[in-house]
Amino acid sequence: MKRTNIADVAQKAGVSPTAVSFAFNKPEQLNSETVNRIRMTAIEMGYMPNPMARALIAQRSGIIGVMLPQPLSTVLANPYFHTFLQGISSMCDEQALSLMTLSPMNGSLDQAIARSPVDGFIIVGYNEAHHEVSLLRKRGIQYVLVDGDATCAPSVNIDDEQGAYLAAKYLVDKGHRDILILMLDTAFGHTDEELHGVAMRRMRGYRRAFDEVSVVWRNEWVLPSVSSMIGGQQNFDAAYEQGLRPTALLGAADAIAIGAIQAAIRRGMKVPEDLEIIGYDDSVLASLVQPGLSTVHQPIFEKGRVALELLIGEWESAAARVTDASTKQVWLPTHLVLRGTTT
Amino acid sequence: MKRTNIADVAQKAGVSPTAVSFAFNKPEQLNSETVNRIRMTAIEMGYMPNPMARALIAQRSGIIGVMLPQPLSTVLANPYFHTFLQGISSMCDEQALSLMTLSPMNGSLDQAIARSPVDGFIIVGYNEAHHEVSLLRKRGIQYVLVDGDATCAPSVNIDDEQGAYLAAKYLVDKGHRDILILMLDTAFGHTDEELHGVAMRRMRGYRRAFDEVSVVWRNEWVLPSVSSMIGGQQNFDAAYEQGLRPTALLGAADAIAIGAIQAAIRRGMKVPEDLEIIGYDDSVLASLVQPGLSTVHQPIFEKGRVALELLIGEWESAAARVTDASTKQVWLPTHLVLRGTTT
DNA sequence: GATATAATCTAAAAGGTTTTACTAAATAGA
DNA sequence: TCTATTTAGTAAAACCTTTTAGATTATATC
């Protein structure tokens, strides 16, 4: 019933627990004959060191936690996160780290954080002001923010504002004036203010392009949408039923834009002839849908890798007892990718 | 630098470490005034119990490990796993458990397993004979197999054979004789024999339908493909260049079938007029592509939930010291879903 | 033959919590 | 007033490993 531990192996091999530990971790401290005997005994008994005990003493578990802004089921439905997690995990492979995902669960991230034996967090979609994040800071647990504003910790962001600007600019320059904007809903709610960095930046980018050529910004043409195809569909339909007849559409996420394409086609519109569409993210789906989605490219995969690199950097500077006042804020570039949903 | 521990809090609050522990876990053992004082002090000092120490003594971490058959980057590109993980995580939410994914890393799953502080594993796509799995069994770590043959542990599988049979039957009954089969490559390689349960079952199902109406089974019409759209594309092209001119196609995974659709359309074929296609899985993509993919439905989400349910059942029977000789082997049903790629 | 060094191995501490068993003080019961 | 019970708190063991410092024996040096 009980799992075999180091003492069991030691007893059977006729040595001390220390010797068993050495046999695995510092074999040069032991007679090679003894090492072999101990290893044999261990294999025979199916012994593996208890990872919790090991992590407890080493003060590190080799696990990094990824804190996600939405329940895992929502996140997994979003191609943006697939690529992002791929980026992190490719780095994990190289560094022999394991990955653990944390999502708001039963409304309580706190609990999940409290019982996570991780060496640090990559936090996606929260600002530093967020309650959970400030808790980590107080506790002295290292973290890196992604898609969120930071000053006390390293962060990775993209140039959301510029990307959005490029997309909107492209459309207004072509003469469009009735542009429907399906914005991330995180820009609206007032309950979770901390989430809103990315959405606000994209909104500002769109707005800047409008202002530059004096296109009127009408709030009723900006709809909040959840980041999913369903969200895009529903909001396009809602806009249409309110009497809006856009000639172009800006989707603040690819999933939203793709949903909108489908809704538009279903209403008999032709894309891009009747409706030009530009999304955001350049997720894998963008090049797969028909017609291919024009969108703002961001280096999602790289974002994940850089985030983990920064976290590892934090560990190293902590180990070297360097208090780097200059925490690294990384900004990755964005650019416009034109495919079939624009002419 | 050092994280505040229970002793620090105890000292500052003028009580013993035991009292601090009680303040959080068994407040009724303490004067409520004392409880408040301790809790205040803890919050003030940013104290959280060390999860490793806690897990060490509790002999459980509240984390379940999901062992995947491919690197995480591959898995995340596969919609089948999205839905499957969603199923597990919905159950995790309900049970206040955390989720940790393990993938073959640097060729060594062993290492990752060894340092994973998990209460049990959900193992996807491996048979019981697999080296890592037998290691777990020997070690006495609980696990549940998904998409793999089991006798010593609980398992969740679908009726792969019947689903495949239904798909093939539909096509042969309509008179097709030149049917290209893009099979999971796991059915072929001889190095990783343990992986092949699912693929072999699907192959047998296809074959049974062929045999039933005496359609000749030609091995050169069966191609191994990786489970991705790229894989489907490449293999359809390869078949075409070998001179094969199928009138119908069976894809052993939706991703493969979708890739094949695209390759066929690119060659000027009309789907379903020139080529009828049936996939496998009924992943979310199946209903999104144009034309909608006819496919074999399996309850992927439920599969994830059931897997975790079984694992929890294992914990309970272990706690009750019940050695259930009758380990549960769950078989979920499959059925055919017809959409636009069949007439 | 005595001493210095190297080779093997072990005892004990440390890591941070929870839990069990126990003490001391206060209250209740008679 | 004395005993029984409750209340409030603590000391120490347990969880399992790694690591440090030390012990014992064998080997090399002079």
Q: Is B157 on the interface with A (CB under 8 A)?
A: no
Q: Residue B262's pLDDT is what? A: 87
Q: Residue B190's pLDDT is what? A: 44
Q: Residue A218's pLDDT is what? A: 95
**Given the structure tokens 């209460």, which residue do they identify?**
B119
Q: Among A210-214, B262-266, B273-277, B308-312, name the one with the lowest average pLDDT.
A: B262-266
Which residues of chain B have a CB within 8 Å of the CB of A111?
96
Q: Residue A1's pLDDT is what? A: 63
CA distances, B182 to each of A46, A142, B179, B227, B277 (Å): 40, 47, 10, 10, 11
- More confident position, A285 or B267: B267
A4: confidence class by pLDDT, cuts 50, 70, 90? very high
B312-324 average pLDDT score: 81
The DSSP element (H or E) to which B296 belongs, if any, is strand B294-297
Query: What average pLDDT is seen over chain B?
Result: 91
Please state whether strand D lies within 7 Å of residue A45 at its CB atom.
Answer: no
Torsion of CA B255, B258, B264, B266, to 10 degrees: -100
B13: confidence class by pLDDT, cuts 50, 70, 90? very high
Q: How far apart are alpha carbons A80 and A99 in whole angstroms?
A: 18
Structure tokens at A158: 């993209």
Of A254-263, A282-291, A298-307, B260-269, the range with the highest mean pLDDT is A298-307
Task: Choose among B1, B103, B117: nearest Cβ to A117.
Answer: B117
Q: What is the pLDDT of residues A199-212, one digit of tens each?
A: 999 999 999 999 99
Structural contact between residues A295 and A286, judged by C-beta atoms closer than 8 angstroms: yes
Give, as ranges, the nucleotides of chain D with any atom within 7 Å of a protein CB: 7-12, 14-20
Q: Residue B243's pLDDT is what? A: 96
B134-163 average pLDDT score: 94
Task: Choose among B98, B113, B321: nearest Cβ to A115.
Answer: B98
Write the DSSP symbol of residue A117. -
- CA–C1' distance A17–C13 (Å)? 14
Q: Which domains does chain A have, with CATH numbers?
A: 6-49 (1.10.260.40), 63-158+300-331 (3.40.50.2300), 160-297 (3.40.50.2300)
Reply yes or no on whether the pLDDT at A190 is more than 50: no
Reply yes or no on whether the pLDDT at B76 is more than 80: no
Across the interface, whether the CB atoms of A114 and B140 are under 8 A apart is answered: no
Q: Is A17 on the interface with B (CB under 8 A)?
A: no
Q: What is the pLDDT of residues A32-87, one digit of tens each?
A: 999 999 999 999 999 999 999 999 999 999 999 999 988 777 787 788 998 999 89
Structural contact between residues A156 and A144, judged by C-beta atoms closer than 8 angstroms: yes
Please state whether strand D lies within 7 Å of residue B108 at its CB atom.
Answer: no
Q: Residue A192's pLDDT is what? A: 46
Interface contacts (A, B; CB < 8 Å):
151
- More confident position, B229 or B203: B203
A82-102 average pLDDT score: 90
Reply yes or no on whether the pLDDT at A130 is more than 50: yes
Q: Among A6-20, A225-239, B193-207, name the one with the lowest average pLDDT.
A: B193-207
The CA-based diameter of chain A, rounded to the nearest angstrom, is 85
Q: Is B323 on the interface with A (CB under 8 A)?
A: no
Strands (E), B49-92: 63-67
Structural contact between residues B66 and B113, judged by C-beta atoms closer than 8 angstroms: no
Nearest nucleotide from residue B56 CA, by C1' atom: D15
> Counting Cβ atoms within 10 Å, is residue B216 exposed (0-12), middle (13-18) or buried (19+)?
exposed
Q: What is the SS3 assignment for B109? A: helix
Q: Residue B104's pLDDT is what? A: 79
Across the interface, whether the CB atoms of A290 and B290 are under 8 A apart is answered: yes
Q: Among A305-319, B32-46, B286-300, B309-323, name the one with the lowest average pLDDT.
A: B309-323
Q: Which of B2, B80, B101, B115 to mutate to test the interface with A (most CBs of A within 10 A)?
A: B115
Q: Give Cβ neighbours of residue B267 (< 8 Å, ≥ 6 apart).
A: B240
In chain A, the percentage of residues whose pLDDT exceeds 70 is 94
Give contacts of A 167-226 with B, CB under 8 A: none
Nearest nucleotide from residue A18 CA, by C1' atom: C10
The CB density around residue B234, as the number of other CB atoms within 10 Å, is 18
Q: What is the pLDDT of residues A298-322, one digit of tens each?
A: 999 999 999 999 999 999 888 776 7
Q: Among A149-153, A162-166, A168-172, name the one with the lowest average pLDDT.
A: A149-153
Reply yes or no on whether the pLDDT at B6 is more than 90: yes
Go through A266-278 and write b for each residue having 16 or more CB atoms within 10 A of its CB, e for each that does not.
eeebebbeebbbb
Q: Residue B69's pLDDT is what? A: 86
- CA–C1' distance B79–C17 (Å)? 41
The CB density around residue A190, as the number of other CB atoms within 10 Å, is 6
Our CA angle for B66, B67, B68, nearest 5°, is: 110
Structure tokens at A253: 């996420």
Q: What is the pLDDT of residues B36-73, one digit of tens each?
A: 999 999 999 999 999 999 999 999 999 999 999 887 77
Reply yes or no on whether the pLDDT at A8 is more than 70: yes
Which residues of chain A have a CB within 8 Å of the CB of B72?
85-86, 89, 92, 99
Reply yes or no on whether the pLDDT at A97 is more than 60: yes
Q: CA nearest A103: which of A74, A79, A78, A80?
A: A74
Q: What is the pLDDT of residues A209-268, one digit of tens each?
A: 999 999 999 999 999 998 888 889 999 999 999 999 999 999 999 999 999 998 999 899
B200-212 average pLDDT score: 95
Q: Is B102 on the interface with A (CB under 8 A)?
A: yes
Q: How far apart are alpha carbons A35 and A20 in whole angstroms?
A: 8
- Helix B32-45 to helix B6-13 angle (10° resolution) is 120
Q: Residue B195's pLDDT is what? A: 44
B31: confidence class by pLDDT, cuts 50, 70, 90? very high
Q: Residue A310's pLDDT is what? A: 97
**Given the structure tokens 């399906």, which residue do they identify?**
A182
Q: Residue B220's pLDDT is what? A: 94
Q: CA nearest A63: which of A140, A134, A136, A141?
A: A141
Structural contact between residues B340 and B275, judged by C-beta atoms closer than 8 angstroms: no
Reply yes or no on whether the pLDDT at B29 is more than 50: yes
